[in-house]
Structure 1
Amino acid sequence: MADTAVVVDVPRKSRNNGRKALKQKNPSSSSPSLSTNEANILAQKLSQQLSPTQAPSPMKSDPSKENHDGLSQPLKGKAAGKGKQSKKSFEKDLQEMQDMLQKLRIEKEKTEELLKEKDEMLKMKDEEIENKGKEQEKLQMELKKLQKMKEFKPNMKFAISMNKGGGFEKKRPSPPYILWCKDQWKEIKKENPEADFKEVSNILGAKWKTIMAEEKKPYEEIYRAEKEVYLQAIAKEKRETEAMKLFEDEHKQKTAMELLEQYLQFKEEAEKETKKKTKKERDPLKPKQPMSAFFLFSNERRAALLADNGNKNVLEAAKIAGEEWKNMTAEQKKPYEEIAKKNKEKYMEEMEVYKQKKEEEALNVKKQEEEMMKLQKQEALQLLKKKEKTDHIIKKTKEKRQQKKQQNSDPNKPKKPASSFLLFSKEARKTLVQERQGINNSTLNALISVKWKELSEEERDVWNAKASEAMEVYKKQMEQYNKSAEEEQQH
């Protein structure tokens, strides 16, 4: 028994996924395989004989179970690893999807903003186009007016200016020296044939100085006569030119007035024509008038009539529709009339609302104007109050100054004496008034000043002495007055 050894055959997977029972083989003998119970008994015996280190574990008592557990453990580990990997990949995909959604949201917001901006730009462009259209219409109207104004042709004759060319045609008369030179030129030229113009003129000038007055007299008389004729002609021409100028001015004024009247008349006619042609601008808020029953019917029938009659004119289609409408019975017309009635009722309601809005707008405008007037009145009243205050302050200050002056002006205070000139003027005035009755003050003052200037130093000294005496008396009086004032203040 000691020499015997137990060999355990480990089962392997077959192609049919089946398992074979464990067999105990004896290498020394070629005996058949033992049963399971016998094998277990032999194993127990061997375990008793073997050492504890060599003893098999109790788990190995059931080799089939051990084999099953060993195979199932790696499968479970693989499944758990795959589950973890799939979970991680799912979380990763979810995160990526969330990021993508966030990006899409941001892009959507950006596109919405861009669309809004584009809509605003389109609105602005539409408004600009409308404004440009209105401006073009205005310009076209003005252009039409100007073209119409070009057709203006006045029915009148303009004044012809009579004053052609500047200055007077008549020449000035030559003086006596030149007349004498004309007579003497040939003689002096014969005497001095080689002399030039300058030398001849010098000789004539020297000779004219030596001529007596009697010889010059006939030339002077000729000059005077020619001068009188020339002056008369000039005066006549001046008078004629002034008269013609006045005539031209009057004629110009008349023609201008006639031209203005014709132009205004033409302008009125042109404006009437343009008003007839141009339509009034319609209020966009005002509701449109509803169509009548006939127009509803004709609009409904127009397309069919045009298609049936081979695209005839609209006028012909309208005529046919009118004839059909006439031939229709009351029952056939009834639906169109009901629609027209409903539309009219709706239009009347909308018109009432529109009128109320217009009235409210007018009232609001009126209220705003009244408020503005109130504000303006308040501002005006405030300004008036300020002005009254300033006037009152100025008045009070003036009154205070006058009161101070009255308080300061003591009746007991001695007055300043008159100067030497004033003393002289008093006496001189009396004498001059007696001598020249009814004389003016200005002439009196002038005469007094002249007399004062004509006085000698001795006479002035007399008046200066009188003024100095009066000044000394004034100084003494002022000393006494100041002393009395100080005593009163002390008491």
Structure 2
Amino acid sequence: MNGEMDASTKDQVWTQDDLLNLLEAMKVNLPQKDLAKYKTSESHLDWEKVAFNSFTGEMCKQKWNEVSKVIRKFRTLTELIFDAQDFIKNPYKGKKLKKHPDFPKKPLTPYFRFFIEKRAKYAKLHPEMSNLDLTKILSMKYRGLPDKKKKKYLEDFQKDKETFGHSMSKFREDHPDLVESMAKKGSNVPEKPRTPQQLWYSHEKKAFLKTHADATTKDIKDSLGKQWTQLSDKKRLKWIAKSLEMHKAYEEVMKGFIETHPELNMSNEDIVKSTLTKAERHLKDKSDGRPDKPPPNGYSMFCAELMSSMKDVPSTERMVMCSQQWKLLKQNEKDGYQKRCEQRKKEYEVEMNRFLCSISEEEQQRVLGEQKMIGFKKGSGGSKKKSRAKPSPEKPKRPISAMFIFSEEKRPKLQQERPDLSDSELTRLLARMWNELSDKKKEKYKRLETVLKAESVKKGHEERSRLPDTPKTAQDIWQQSVIGDYLARFKNDRPKAQKAMEATWNTMEKKEKIMWIKKAAEDQKRYERELSEMRSPATIIASGKKMKFDGEPKKPPSNGYQKFSQEMLSNGELNHLPMKERMGEIGGRWQRQPQKEKDRYKKIAEEKQKLYKVELERWLASLSSQERNVYKEYNSQKRKTPVKPGGTAAKVKAKVTKKSDTEDEDDDDEEEEKEAASSDNDSSSAEDSEEEDDDDDDNEEDDDDDDDEAEDKENKSEGSSSSDSSSVETSDSDSD
């Protein structure tokens, strides 16, 4: 039965109308909202309902399978049917035009005629050779052929070419609808600009063929490809400049072409945006004087400097080593890196402003777009307004770099010699002169750069006692909150935006200003508080802020749960989980522990507490009377102040430094009370994990407040939820 059906299906002839009727019948039987995958809809389709005329449901299904093979299928069935209808009406659209049975065949080139004629003969003579080797030999033979013998192949090619032209004309007449798209996109579309590498390749290829006449295309590409990668920056810049010139001319021609050919439906998006790679663009900008972006923080600066001397270390190990080395630094050394980073950021703003002034408006928009600094405008000196703030003694009047020193030295003389040049043209000329300078001559300016930077660092150390930021007025705070909207409205024109903001503020009612006046009052209080702290260091201790005392024994876990948490966090088993989920998993595992295991952890914690007390007494005995008094005063103040105010941690002389996020200091009596209160507690904060880190100073006080609050709650109730939240906070700090 099946055999008969297959035979009848094959014998049945499907016309174009039949195929279109099939697709229409399928469309009618699809659900109104066809949002499923095409395979799902296809499997649910009732083919008996699709059947029409003499075609059964099975025949329709088989024919659909044949038609659907030539169509992309990662869409809904409704969309596929539309494409299938289009394909049946016009199967030779676009690149498939050459598959049309009437499309004339292109004539073979003279070389291919020679190749086809001789290939069989050489294959018999050299049966051991591969097709590739035969092609190479015949290619060399054809190149060495005298012009007289080549003439035969050339004449045959010309005859066939003329025939092809006539056949193509006839094809266009017979099928005008098929060649319509070909006529639209003619050869008059402007040629796309070439990349720097393509320009260099075309130039070098001619010279290469003179010395390597027998070289294949692959040999040329391989050889020249290696040469391009080894090309010096100076030579590479020459081809980058040529490519940019060609691209600029191409853009102008292309804009005119789009206007004069509206029938092509082309837009500015069809214009090639750039011919440069990211590395080539960076090289070009650097040669024009664009400064390198500074590291975002002190740690990144430390890593960058350290990695320059770790070229032999595998890349996977470098960051681990950097992190370990950073943890070994003292706090004052870390602060030094952070200050240097801030200094570099200020220099970068000055250098970037100078660079922006030296380039065109169009290039400025590109650079600002890349840097995502839409609020950053030339001459602004940065995005933050500090008109009334006292200038920082660390801020340099001019950037310190070898190139800048060279430019400042040569600029006056150059201005006299070339009075016709503008400032931006002078800057570009000086940048080119610097790039062309020999390394030996550059050494002089690099030495000056080192000396000036050393002086700058020295001045920074001498000016440690900086005043806090001057308090802002209500108008300043309001302007800071709306500056982005105004810059967007005035297309990044800062002076216009500033005038508009001042006008708006002056017309605002008092009710609208109240919120900003309150914020200004808070900022004034902040300024007075910081000023008083700077003038009176003793008040820092009295304020009860967290401190770290050098040599002080590390506080052990106060109960079994803390000890268990430390083990789970340090073994790395749960590192794949986010911190909150990690702490939740630890809490769940602790609850599932048998009582025997809980008692074991509790016993370990008690032993460590006893050992800690002995070490603490020994450490206190080693302190001088002054240091001991400072320590006792700090702990007494801490008991009096349950919630400590925010602010930066204090520095205390004689072995006293900032306290880390997870450390919590109480005197011996307080420790005994805590231990007694929490000895039977099954869940408490893991605030003192095994790997403590002093890096995160920014959130120091907030974390400390959470730790203390969690400890107080821990003493009140067994397994409280607040203890778990504290555990999350402190463990997060430890895992850093």
TM-score (norm. length: structure 2): 0.15
TM-score (norm. length: structure 1): 0.21
Larger Rg: 1
Q: Which has the higher helix share?
A: 1
